[in-house]
Structure 1
Amino acid sequence: MNDWVIRLIEQSGYLGVGFLMFLETVFPPIPSEVIMPIAGMAAAEGKLQYSLVVASGTAGAMLGNIVWYLAARALGVARLEPIIRRHGRWVTMTWAEVERAQTWFRENGIFFVFLGRLIPTVRSLVSVPAGLLKMRFKTFFIASTLGTLGWTALLATAGFKMREHYGDMAEVVGTASNAVLVVLAAGYVWRLWTHRRVED
């Protein structure tokens, strides 16, 4: 898959970087942890400009972020109330918890969105609660852009600086992504278990 990413970036340049980052955000066929370091390596080799690599990667990812935000906002959290009330144990949430989350999000949403964009795996999902809870678009856009810019710049810089050790870098980032998945899975199992205990 890395070879396909390399070929697309070589053939399409910045447009290819943006397109791949859009795909990664909307329907993740390949992770940004592969796309942006490869683009960074291309910049280090003089094939692309570093600043435009970061800009195109950020733009593509933000387009995907906006798609998810608008879709979630159109759905709205109110439409999920019957599902949550009926299947609360499987989503591990009660409607009262959703209402508390709405209050928390109004006060801390900016920090949540910005930080979420910097966490592997989680970063693509941040738009959903922001849209469901109807976060102001301007606030969402600014916080998402800053976080996404930081993430793409970090990965592109890693590729630029460590092109001779790409394998080692990919292994470290991959391990971090897997660790986040394990934590999320463990958190879900814990919530599911405690939910059942409460119901019983």
Structure 2
Amino acid sequence: MEIWIQQFMSQFGNLGVFLLIFIENVFPPIPSELILTFGGFMTASTSMSVASVIIFATLGSLLGALLLYALGYLLGSERLKPLLDQYGSIIHLSYEDVQKALKWYSRYEGKTVFFCRMVPLIRSLISIPAGMAKMSISAFILLTTLGSLIWNSVLVFAGAMLGEHWTDILTIMDTYSWITYGLLFVGLLAVIIRWIRKKD
């Protein structure tokens, strides 16, 4: 997949960045870290600029997020479950994943939409519960754009600065992902323990 992504971006430039980031938001397993850092690296040898890569990536992020927001808004929990049970494996998305994201959204609402845009995998999922909860579309667009802009900018700048060593950032991001998932797990565990204690 990595080779195909690089070839696609080399052929289509900024449009390739836009399309791949849009797809990455809808199909979470596609790594945005690879797309963005390679896009940053490409600015040294093509007509693409750091600013243009960031802009096209952010537009792709927003469009993908809006599609998932609309899915959550229009279908709701009851209609979404049978669809994900039947077709979720195709896009590597389960109803349980959505339920976890919904719990985080219910707890922190707007803050979750903003901060989760900087967390691998969850950055895509959070759009669905935001739609299910009928979050204000203007607030959703603003928070999604800001969160995506920060995430995209950091990775594109990193790719541009590292140059031929742009792949080094992928190792760092892999570590970041595991640390983030660990913290989320600990946080979820703390919530469960607190809920059990209250019940007793």
Provide TM-score, normalisation by structure 2.
Answer: 0.76
- Are the aligned partners of 2:160 and 2:166 in contact in 1 as well (CA < 8 Å)? no
| CA-based RMSD | 3.0
- In structure 2, the partner of 1:122 is 122
Q: Report % sequence identity.
A: 34
Q: Which runs of 5+ in 1 are unaligned?
A: 81-89
Matched, 1:174 2:174: yes
More displaced, 143-152 or 47-56?
Answer: 47-56
Deviating above 3 A after TM superposition, structure 1's stretches of 4 or more consecutive aligned residues are 182-200
In the TM superposition, what are the counterparts of 1:1-200 in structure 2 within 5 Å?
1-76=1-76, 79=78, 101=106, 105=109, 109=110, 111-188=111-188
- In structure 1, the partner of 2:83 is none
- Are the aligned partners of 2:37 and 2:167 in contact in 1 as well (CA < 8 Å)? no
- Are the aligned partners of 2:71 and 2:131 in contact in 1 as well (CA < 8 Å)? yes
Query: Rg bigger for which structure?
Result: 1
- Are the aligned partners of 1:114 and 1:143 in contact in 2 as well (CA < 8 Å)? yes
Distance 1:160 1:44 in 2: 7
Q: Which runs of 5+ in 2 are unaligned?
A: 80-95
Distance 1:158 1:124 in 2: 22
Distance 1:75 1:184 in 2: 27
- Are the aligned partners of 1:121 and 1:177 in contact in 2 as well (CA < 8 Å)? no
Deviation at 1:42, TM superposition (A): 0.3
Q: Secondary structure at the match of 1:44?
A: coil
Provide TM-score, normalisation by structure 1.
Answer: 0.76
Distance 2:106 2:55 in 1: 33
